[in-house]
Amino acid sequence: MIRLVGILTGLVFAFVALLAFVTGAYTFFTEPTEETAEHAFHMEAHLPTGGYTFDGLAPQWDVAQLQRGYKVYKEVCSACHSMNHVAFRDLEQLGYSEAQVKAEAAAWQVPGIDPVTGEANLRPGLPTDYFPAPYANNTAAAAANNNAIPPDLSLMTKARHHGTAYVYSLLTGYRDPNSYTNEEGETLAQAFPDSMPGTGLHFNPWFANLNLAMAPPLHTAGQVTYDDGTEATVQQMSADVAAFLTWTAEPSLVDRVRLGWMVMGFLIFLTILAYLAKKSVWSQLKTRRDD
């Protein structure tokens, strides 16, 4: 009796699951999809003209670009965004000397403990410290940014699809919703008036829901002065900081690809060696059989 009840119960669940699948499939194929503002205006991320040196089959870091990107982060992005997974000593990988890293770390104020009183304080950073967060906690971050918490940027390019292109497109993608049009030539206000940016929001067709709480962080040419004399256009600064954030997310990217090529070469060599060994062994067996 118990076995029969179990079988009947399983059949009921199987029938319900099959019915739900058939109903969902029928709805999917028969009901038209309602067009949304995100679908009509959202744009695919793109890279700057010329791309990056770390793309492709033989990647390499452009150290000068990474240093420029760090400068953009330090002078612009760090006012709101943390980088909790990157230590000051990691900057040595960008070509900075040990003395430069110490000086750079000391220029930042990091949370510490007074050894005399035991109270929390701020002290100059050490190379072993990680980049400090600009806010004490998420509550303070939200209060200072229109109730939006700026995300940590350490792994941002790994957390987003086509992360490097996403960061570059987002930073250069702020538009006027009254002038930016879709394929039908309609502005956002004409096509989807309810999707217009609200108070404190900014229209950006490269952002998932089009409306972004972050104001354009890079908005003026020369906002950052590069040490190597490179012209700091908005596009250049965006490309540089996107490259820098690619490095923070995956500093071993270039070494990993190079190691991959070495492994592939070894496997190809091993395959050829195994094939020749097989030919040699079977040729001897064939000779013996013929004899």
Beta bridge partners of 112: 121
Q: Is the dihedral of CA 278, 284, 287, 291 positive or negative?
A: negative
The residue type at 143: A
210 half-sphere exposure, CB direction, 13 A CA radius: 24
Nearest to 83 by CA among 273, 249, 289, 272: 249
Does the annotation place 81 within a ligand binding site? yes
Does the annotation place 77 within a ligand binding site? yes
63 half-sphere exposure, CB direction, 13 A CA radius: 6
- Number of helices and strands (H, E) in the chain? 10, 4
Residue 176 token pair:
């006027």
Could you give the 3-state DSSP secondary structure of residue 201?
A: coil
Beta bridge partners of 113: 120
Q: Angle at Cα 108 formed by Cα 254 and Cα 72, nearest 5°?
A: 50
280 half-sphere exposure, CB direction, 13 A CA radius: 6
User: Cβ(123)–Cβ(107) under 8 Å?
Assistant: no
Does the annotation place 214 within a ligand binding site? yes
Could you give the 3-state DSSP secondary structure of residue 111?
A: strand
**Rounded CA separation 155/249 (Å):** 4
**Rounded CA separation 37/186 (Å):** 11
Q: Return the H-helix or E-strand segment holding 120.
A: strand 120-124
User: Which residues carry a binding-site annotation?
Assistant: 77, 80-81, 214
User: Which residues carry a binding-site annotation for heme c?
Assistant: 77, 80-81, 214
